[in-house]
Amino acid sequence: MPRDGPDIAFDRELEGLPSELRWREWMRRIEAVLFASASPVPRGDLARVVGQGVSVDLLIEDLIVDLEGRSFEVAKAPGGWMLRTRVTYAPVIRVAADVGGQVLDLKEFDVAVLAAIAYHQPVARDGLRDIFGKEINRDLIGRLHARGLIATGPRSPRRGAPYTFVTTEQFLVAFNLESLRDLPDREQLEDAGL
């Protein structure tokens, strides 16, 4: 989210720089904002740090090319863009970095429940029981909810109606999806025995 309060005065246009240096500076500004942000940054917020009428999309494309071969990348996420470490470096980071609560550390069944929620949402616990043929532990639902991967969904207005569950933007970010449309095709998963 952008900083609250009045706009900070700085030279957006960079008219004193030659055009190629100006372009490179705008790329670096976008890189700096993505690096510093704890959440995906929308196009409109990025447009605030570059010249008026400059294509944020083209700057991001050039930044992606500029970062090739680096340990991190620009990724499209729900709500905007973010910098993230490439998957190849996950084991190295786990060994040497303090990642605190960032590691999902999900069991295979946890991922299966997440997938069921993603494909069938909104889904209640009894719906998950029907899918898996057994009761889904409240603790599992609580852990997925605490990690921000699921949230409560719409609930029928009738008295005593069960809570339903849906996936969140954090789920999309964690699994490198822009939207639920990016989930693998269910029929292909079934054909593969998953």
> One-letter amino acid identity for 122?
P
Confidence label for 96 from pLDDT (cuts 50, 70 and 90): confident
Contacts of 49 (CB under 8 A, 6+ apart): 12, 26, 29, 30, 33
> Is the torsion defined by CA of 176, 78, 131, 153 positive or negative?
positive
Which class in CATH covers the domain with range 104-191?
A: mainly alpha
Phi and psi dihedrals of 15, rounded to 5? -65, -20
- Distance between start and end Cα atoms, the chain: 38
CA distances from 149 to 15, 18, 51, 69, 74 (A): 45, 46, 37, 30, 22
Looking at domain 19-89, does it have CATH number 1.10.10.10?
yes
CA dihedral 165, 169, 172, 175 (to 10 degrees): -90
Q: Report pLDDT digits (tens) over 26-72.
A: 999 999 999 999 889 999 999 999 999 999 999 999 999 999 999 99
**Which residue's structure tokens are 């670096």?**
28
Per-chain mean pLDDT for the chain: 88
Which pair of tokens denotes residue 6? Answer: 């009045």
Do 104-191 and 19-89 fall under one CATH topology?
yes
With 80 as the cut, is the pLDDT of residue 1 above it? no
Residue 123: what pLDDT?
Answer: 95
Closest CA to 37 of 103, 86, 82, 76: 82
Closest CA to 180 of 137, 141, 122: 122
With 80 as the cut, is the pLDDT of residue 102 above it? no
Helix (H, G, I), strand (E, B) or coil at 72: strand
Residue 192: what pLDDT?
Answer: 67
DSSP, residue by residue, 158-173 = STTPPPEEEE-HHHHH
Domain residue ranges in the chain:
19-89, 104-191
Confidence label for 6 from pLDDT (cuts 50, 70 and 90): low
